[in-house]
Amino acid sequence: MRLTDFQRQSICESAKNHFGANTKVWLFGSRVDDHAKGGDIDLYIEPQTQKPADLITAKLLFLRDLHKKIGEQKIDVVLHRADSTVDLPIYHIARQTGVLLQ
């Protein structure tokens, strides 16, 4: 996994602060591969917060907070609400190929 301990800690801390204490976060994509180079930080998040309007605000605040902590980097966030009836393939790919951070 190509994240520093500080980056990992910052992601987990910010996710708890903005999406709730029981939020789960996976890192997926190229940053999981220790031999790859470059790449954005792809995060799959199962938030405790479930209201769509609250999630929009939480996502923006999460990204702002994370950029302040780890610097300007390309960060992609995929949110999956537990009460959603939508089941996208990216949800399965992220969980199967990703690394659970929290």
**Tally of structural domains, the chain:** 1
Query: What's the CATH code of the domain at 33?
Result: 3.30.460.10
Report pLDDT for 50: 82
- Write out the residue range of the structural domain in which residue 13 sits: 5-100
pTM across the whole model: 0.92
Could you read off the pLDDT of 7-60 as tens digits, one per residue? 999 999 999 999 999 999 999 999 998 888 878 999 999 998 788 889 999 999
- Print the SS3 string covering the chain: CCCCHHHHHHHHHHHHHHHCCCCEEEEECHHHCCCCCCCCEEEEEECCCCCHHHHHHHHHHHHHHHHHHHCCCCEEEEECCCCCCCCCHHHHHHHHHCEECC
